[in-house]
Amino acid sequence: MKMIDFHNHFYPPEYLEAIQIGPSNVKITFDADNNPLLHYPGDYNIVVRGHRDIEYRAEVLEKAGVDKQILTFTTPGTHVESPARSVELARLVNNSLSKIMNERRDRFSALATLPLNDPVASVVEFERAFNELGFKGVMLHSNINGTALSEQRFWPLYEKADDLRAVFYIHPSFPVGVEAMTDYRLMPLVGFPFETTLAAAKLVFSGVVEKYPGIRWVLGHLGGAILYLAERLDRGYFAFEECRANISKPPSEYLKEFYYDSVNFDPHALKFAISFAGESQFVAGSDYPHKIGSLEMMVSSIEELDIPEDTKAKIYGENAARLLEL
């Protein structure tokens, strides 16, 4: 079976160099092994070799039996910078990822990043990424400095994406109220899944998903808690007028059209999710090379599922290949 890892993260060396030179709102320190640490509210990312060395990464994939990864640029994103610097860094990141895609097409594809703290510039960069650089999808952070993705300032972007049937992959960012999550690493452990949940719920209730049906939405970390709360959202739809104001059917009907990555390595959770949305709506993910990610568990958690082999093949790689036209 072809194995495509949809959820993993990469920091282009050019980006790391640019933020070290500055200006940047990202604080950088180094650990005992000289790995950069990128600090942002509630957490920090340790940029290990797998995050920044594409040749090493290719060797890791070869050993793990993973055919291809869809590279994504992750937290803290460029939107934490000034708007002008965000535009500059987003272009730099997309140029770097495009170069990897062109030179290592056998092993890597990628999703673009956007300077979403400048919605007008985001439309410009989106068109450049698709029309000039060859991207088929974008990774969106779940909130942009506290602003929800459902806000109308982003709708011109969604209109362009709708026309191109773009893939929009939502990855969590540090949530509003992160101050309550600074101990026990609760920000990534609890805050991240609920950030995805909140973003998905707002995109549905606001009418964005209905208004722009050409966009293919993908949620990280198995959708956070959205699948477990879908029934409750439906009850809200029938109970509260404001929950029906912008949509014409219960939220669960839209959520069944979303795609979900498998970065919840509990086979019971995966089985429940598949029963909700169907086998065609899932892509494999590892969260490599973060500490709580695992290429091995990506494979084993799907392998443990009591489902037909052709269904496993769809989740392992066929669905992702279809989504991104690989």
Question: What does the alpha-carbon distance between residue 247 and residue 254 come to, in Å, rounded to a whole number?
Answer: 10
pTM of the model: 0.95
> Cβ contacts of residue 298 below 8 Å, gap of 6+?
5, 262, 263, 265, 284, 285, 286
Tokens of 231: 């029934």
DSSP 8-state symbol, 174: P
In tens digits, the chain (326 residues) has pLDDT values of 899 999 999 999 999 999 999 999 999 999 999 999 999 877 889 999 999 999 999 999 999 999 999 999 998 999 999 999 999 999 999 999 999 999 999 999 999 999 999 999 999 999 999 999 999 999 999 999 999 999 999 999 999 999 999 999 999 998 888 889 989 989 999 999 999 999 999 999 999 999 999 999 999 999 999 999 999 999 999 999 999 999 999 999 999 999 999 999 999 999 999 999 999 999 999 999 999 999 999 999 999 999 999 999 999 999 999 999 99
Domain that holds residue 41: 4-324
Domain with residue 149: its CATH number is 3.20.20.140
Total domains in the fold of the chain: 1
